[in-house]
Structure 1
Amino acid sequence: MVGEKLSGDWALVRTRLTGSGSKEQWLLIKEKDAIARPAAEYDITLEQPQSVISGAHVGAGRAAPAKPKASAANEKAKAGAAKPARKPAQKKSKTVFPETLSPQLATLVDAPPAGDWLYEIKFDGYRILTRIQGDEVSLFTCNGHDWTERLPELVKALKGLKLQNSWFDGEVVVLDEQGLPDFQGLQNAFDAGNSKNILYYLFDMPFLSAEDLREVPLEQRRDALKQVLDAQRSRLLRYSDAFQAGHQDIVKSAAAMGLEGVIGKRAGSVYIGKRNADWIKLKCRLRQELVIVGYTAPQGSRSAFGALLLAVNEGDEGLVYAGRVGTGFSEVTLEQLYQQLKPLQRKDSPLAKKLTSAQARGVQWVEPQLVCEAEFAQWTREGIVRQAAFVGLRSDKPASEVVREDAHPARVASQTRTQSTSAAPRSGKKTAAGKGKVDVAGTGISHPDRVIDSKTGTSKVELAQFYASIAEWILPYLNKRPVALLRCPEGIDGEQFFQKHAEHLAIPHIKQLDRALDPGHAALMEIDSLQALVGAAQMGAVELHTWGATRDRIETPDHFVLDLDPDPALPWRSMIEATQMVLAVLEELGLEAFLKTSGGKGMHIIVPLARQADWDTVKAFAKAIAEFVSRQLPERFTATMGPKNRVGKIFIDYLRNSRGGSTVTAYSVRARPGLPVSVPIALDELAGLKSSAQWDITNLEQRLKKLKADPWAGYSNRRKITQKMWKQLGAKRP
């Protein structure tokens, strides 16, 4: 279903019960797909009570005032632009929407590091965090100062997004005639109380519609943000584009464009409310905030003052002298700054150490309250800024937080990984999930210590490492096939989601197929690499299910599956005998079959086919086999689904052979206690098989090491469905 309010997979169920009238009642039930949310978390009747057609509240009387109808684009951006990942905390809990949010900060480095990075423009403006809560929009500096009243035009534009309980991160700027950020122009706009030309470049979205996106990989947060902004375009709200360039040329190119510098963000990184090496800054020229501690008298035709004396904080030592700045001022700036300095005059120096008599000559000291930004050529050995030029005042940062910014070597940033994914304190008890981030095959695994299976204590990173270790075995069965994922973000004991299509929060490294393969839906997915395999595990995928056809010939299946599903009360011996009986029928038909454990209670029989018949024909053929076996041995088998039909019997499930249907792939883990694995076996191994869950992630490696031959050797041999086969089964070809 794709609607204004509801979307995804739904089941329409006929109850055959009558309500207050005479007609039978029907139920519309949400399937557990990738976009399903618990009712306790999101109730559509409460979140969007308006009628799509009239705009009136559903159930309200005719006299009730109708609310204006939101556009379809806005509703989609609100309800599903990001499809964010589930909160990976305690079961049945939800992140409390924060009143405040600490921004992620960048580390200054001396050169672009190696690795996979996204680069954005380092804007010459003020960092602003936006909180949208209910009908209120609030704008905060990175230090928590409320600037909402200073930016009324942006407040209006942000309200136009028609979102609730969301946080945005970005930078407000004013552009000059060349379209480049102009910090002094921004200062002038604030001083004049004129915000109509102040633009808001947005580069991150930690929350969307109460969904916590901080632990979602960077690229997916950015994609979700872009969709939100595209859904309701505004002249004042801009998306901060990322760009790529060679590592050696990145700063040189930025300088040629007249930019202050660039911000690098590690691909796949999460959002953390502090400074770390996942975000780096590269400056074309050194530039930072400095505390104003005094000024000198003007010389010649200069008015107001001559130069500013600057300082930085150095730990317990206090304020340390950092040099002077005497250029970069306009006449207007000189006078405005002088008026702010006069009330702050003091008799003595606020510096921790006295200056020499030459340095202090003619200086008027001031209280260390004002912060300016200056650019300069370098720091001298004595800690003095060289060739400094004034850029502007920084009213968004307190003087007590100004320290010298030293560039870290590039290798430090390239090697350092996130040490914590905790962006802010969460409500409730701490989870068992670890807060670190571990690299597996080039993919960062967040919450690596989160327990996936409580029975064995297996962690998320251990599951990712398992999939990486069997990549050469499982990838051939994933290659070129649409894949569906059974995701368990909170572990197999929590909620589980079956994802067939690539949603807005894409799986890291996963391949998105041509949307024409499944019209009317988002793109199908394919896992075609080790990185994509581990990326699926990073996003909580435990089971991997594949179609019975490859993407290049999607309408002609290359195999069918018979899933033998027993009554749980039956002994394992009955399962082995039943499998042998079905294999005998397939052999009589002239078909070559292959076996694998289901990882549950039953067995999977896979029959390769020549790619000629369509889906309907293949499904009908599998059904004919199931019905034939059931007719021949009705005391053992049934081809009719449902627990009551399976009592004391084995259900031959042929239904997964429909177009869009899928079967757990060979070597996939199952989301069951103990994390068993669906494992291919040779036909002569069947008699000695102890259970369908004989192998799990702890002992599969031992089996693979002992194998002397591929248990599915000859799998590429394919048979046609012939008229003779139909006749043997007593069925007609559709």
Structure 2
Amino acid sequence: MADALELTVDGRAVRVSNPDKVYFPERGITKGDVVNYFLAVGEGILRALHERPTTLERWPGGVVPGAKLSTRQDHRGDAFFQKRVPKGAPDWVQTARIAFPSGRYADEVCPTELAVVVWAANLGTLTFHPWPVRRPEVDHPDQLRIDLDPQPGTDFRDAVRAAHELRPLLDELGLQGFPKTSGGRGLHVYVPIQPKWTFVEVRRALIALGRELERRMPDRVTVNWWKEERGERIFIDYNQMARDRTIASAYSVRPNPRARVSCPVTWDELDDVSPEDFDVTTVPARFAELGDPHADIAQHAFSLEPLLDLVAQHERDGVGGDLPYPPEYPKMAGEPKRVQPSRARDD
């Protein structure tokens, strides 16, 4: 069993300790296998992370039975989110300073080269959570991220149906979306936008988009924040565009027993693929054969104005207004009461 590997990644020396450590026991996938996976899809994952402040989701003990992720409420988990650059990081690991909703600041890892991805993988990072911004415009998103989140009673196929209605809606608005699997049951669609608008404006734009999709698919799609009101529908998680909310990057490994991957796909593939098709063992060959379906995402930057016009139209029609923020956020201007409807009725 090797104690360590010394890799050279684009001219950088990167040490990988305990490469034979099993990270996914159901598949026998080791830490070294995960590192080799990231090297195989290096161009794709670096495209997804480049110049973006990135939270590291670290599983240093692997995804073993019983392992759990620390939360804001319980910090005793086996895995954790690392928002600040780890101590002792090499001097070539660059950072970006971001502000949290609380007003506090942090210097997050900001990948600029593939060696940073491999270095992070050595620390047990499986999932990379980049902000929808790039340096130096860290307060102005350059991506509108649409999270099609299946609720109980729905699945990936329901998310695909919603995506098929979403695509022509984006076309009508002069926008283009780039879909990927989430690595779980859902779908993500990224729309590259001009970095001109604030998080508040982009979030409101996503709410308007979700409301319009809900209007077209009322029995299949919802923007209701409270779970008790969602029903068996696909939830458009508009709060993924709130400051400090992130989505697993393309080509990130997800912490499930099968080591599935969040994988970019084409619109034409959606009806024929399944989340189970994409994992650490299968995606490298796909990447080598087909390349990255998101290869030209950075070549686009669409205007948000059509969606902001839709925000204004909804407000004129009396169906607009803000929706609740996540519970850890300070009270936001124009936000409705942050209490679930059943409790409000009890009060």
Residue identity opposite 2:83 in structure 1: K
Are residues 642 and 725 of structure 1, via their aligned partners in 2, closer, same or farther at CA, if it must alter by over 3 Å?
A: closer
Q: Does 1:451 align with 2:22?
A: yes
The CA deviation at 1:505 is 5.0
CA displacement 1:204-262 (0-9 Å, x = unmatched): xxxxxxxxxxxxxxxxxxxxxxxxxxxxxxxxxxxxxxxxxxxxxxxxxxxxxxxxxxx
Native 8 Å contact 1:594 1:715 kept in 2: no
Q: How far, CA to CA, are the matches of 2:294 and 2:307 in structure 1? A: 29
Residue equivalent to 1:436:
3
In the alignment, which of 511, 524, 537 is matched to residue 94 of structure 2?
A: 511
Q: How far, CA to CA, are the matches of 1:592 and 1:617 in structure 2? A: 19
In the alignment, which of 21, 28, 37 is matched to residue 466 of structure 1?
A: 37
Residue equivalent to 1:722:
305
Q: How far, CA to CA, are the matches of 1:667 and 1:590 in structure 2? A: 27
Residue equivalent to 2:225:
641
The CA deviation at 1:673 is 1.5
Are residues 580 and 465 of structure 1, via their aligned partners in 2, closer, same or farther at CA, if it must alter by over 3 Å?
A: same
Q: Does 1:487 align with 2:58?
A: yes
Native 8 Å contact 2:93 2:109 kept in 1: yes
Q: How far, CA to CA, are the matches of 1:439 and 1:663 in structure 2? A: 31
What SS does the aligned partner of 1:579 have? helix
Residue equivalent to 2:250:
666
Q: Does 1:655 align with 2:239?
A: yes
In the alignment, which of 124, 130, 143 is matched to residue 540 of structure 1?
A: 124
What SS does the aligned partner of 1:664 have? coil
Q: How far, CA to CA, are the matches of 1:463 and 1:577 in structure 2? A: 32
Native 8 Å contact 1:517 1:524 kept in 2: no
Query: Whose radius of gyration is greater, 1 or 2?
Result: 1
Instruction: Give runs of aligned pairs for residues 33-182 of structure 1, distance below 5 A.
Output: none
Q: Considering only aligned residues, what root-mean-square deviation do their CA atoms show, in Å? A: 2.5
Native 8 Å contact 1:597 1:693 kept in 2: no
In the alignment, which of 535, 543, 563 is matched to residue 147 of structure 2?
A: 563
Residue equivalent to 2:82:
499
Are residues 517 and 645 of structure 1, via their aligned partners in 2, closer, same or farther at CA, if it must alter by over 3 Å?
A: closer
CA displacement 1:71-106 (0-9 Å, x = unmatched): xxxxxxxxxxxxxxxxxxxxxxxxxxxxxxxxxxxx
Q: Does 1:550 align with 2:121?
A: no
User: Identity of aligned pairs, percent?
Assistant: 28
Q: How far, CA to CA, are the matches of 2:297 and 2:53 in structure 1? A: 23
Q: How far, CA to CA, are the matches of 1:508 and 1:693 in structure 2? A: 38
The CA deviation at 1:626 is 1.3
Q: How far, CA to CA, are the matches of 1:481 and 1:714 in structure 2? A: 15
Q: How far, CA to CA, are the matches of 2:245 and 2:90 in structure 1? A: 21
Q: Does 1:626 align with 2:197?
A: no
Residue identity opposite 1:719 in structure 2: F
Residue equivalent to 2:333:
none
CA displacement 1:434-464 (0-9 Å, x = unmatched): 6711223332222222211121111111111
Are residues 528 and 435 of structure 1, via their aligned partners in 2, closer, same or farther at CA, if it must alter by over 3 Å?
A: same
Q: How far, CA to CA, are the matches of 2:99 and 2:228 in structure 1? A: 37
Q: How far, CA to CA, are the matches of 1:724 and 1:663 in structure 2? A: 21
Higher relative contact order (CA 8 A, sep 6+): 2
TM-score (norm 2): 0.78
The CA deviation at 1:490 is 0.9
Residue equivalent to 1:592:
176
Residue identity opposite 2:283 in structure 1: L
Residue identity opposite 2:172 in structure 1: E
Native 8 Å contact 1:473 1:667 kept in 2: yes
Native 8 Å contact 1:440 1:534 kept in 2: no
The CA deviation at 1:583 is 1.7
In the alignment, which of 268, 278, 283 is matched to residue 695 of structure 1?
A: 278
Native 8 Å contact 2:192 2:298 kept in 1: yes
Q: How far, CA to CA, are the matches of 1:731 and 1:551 in structure 2? A: 33
**Would you say how many aligned residue pairs link Structure 1 and Structure 2?**
299
CA displacement 1:592-622 (0-9 Å, x = unmatched): 1111111110100111111211111001111
Q: How far, CA to CA, are the matches of 2:245 and 2:214 in structure 1? A: 23
Q: Does 1:615 align with 2:182?
A: no
Unaligned stretches of 5+ in structure 2? Answer: 68-77, 316-320, 323-347
What SS does the aligned partner of 1:542 have? strand
Q: Name the structure where helix makes up a greater proportion of residues.
A: 2
CA displacement 1:514-544 (0-9 Å, x = unmatched): x476663331211222221111011111101
Residue identity opposite 1:475 in structure 2: L
The CA deviation at 1:481 is 0.6
Q: How far, CA to CA, are the matches of 1:508 and 1:615 in structure 2? A: 31
Q: How far, CA to CA, are the matches of 1:640 and 1:505 in structure 2? A: 43
The CA deviation at 1:556 is 1.3
What SS does the aligned partner of 1:523 have? strand
Are residues 709 and 436 of structure 1, via their aligned partners in 2, closer, same or farther at CA, if it must alter by over 3 Å?
A: closer
Are residues 642 and 445 of structure 1, via their aligned partners in 2, closer, same or farther at CA, if it must alter by over 3 Å?
A: farther
Unaligned stretches of 5+ in structure 1? Answer: 1-433
What SS does the aligned partner of 2:191 have? strand
Are residues 456 and 507 of structure 1, via their aligned partners in 2, closer, same or farther at CA, if it must alter by over 3 Å?
A: farther
Residue identity opposite 2:29 in structure 1: T
Q: How far, CA to CA, are the matches of 1:724 and 1:574 in structure 2? A: 24
Are residues 437 and 603 of structure 1, via their aligned partners in 2, closer, same or farther at CA, if it must alter by over 3 Å?
A: same
Are residues 688 and 435 of structure 1, via their aligned partners in 2, closer, same or farther at CA, if it must alter by over 3 Å?
A: closer
Residue identity opposite 1:680 in structure 2: P
Are residues 711 and 534 of structure 1, via their aligned partners in 2, closer, same or farther at CA, if it must alter by over 3 Å?
A: closer
The CA deviation at 1:651 is 0.8
Residue identity opposite 1:470 in structure 2: V
Native 8 Å contact 1:440 1:465 kept in 2: no
Residue identity opposite 1:654 in structure 2: Y
The CA deviation at 1:568 is 4.7
TM-score (norm 1): 0.38
Q: Name the structure where strand makes up a greater proportion of residues.
A: 1
Q: How far, CA to CA, are the matches of 1:725 and 1:659 in structure 2? A: 18
Q: How far, CA to CA, are the matches of 1:507 and 1:644 in structure 2? A: 47
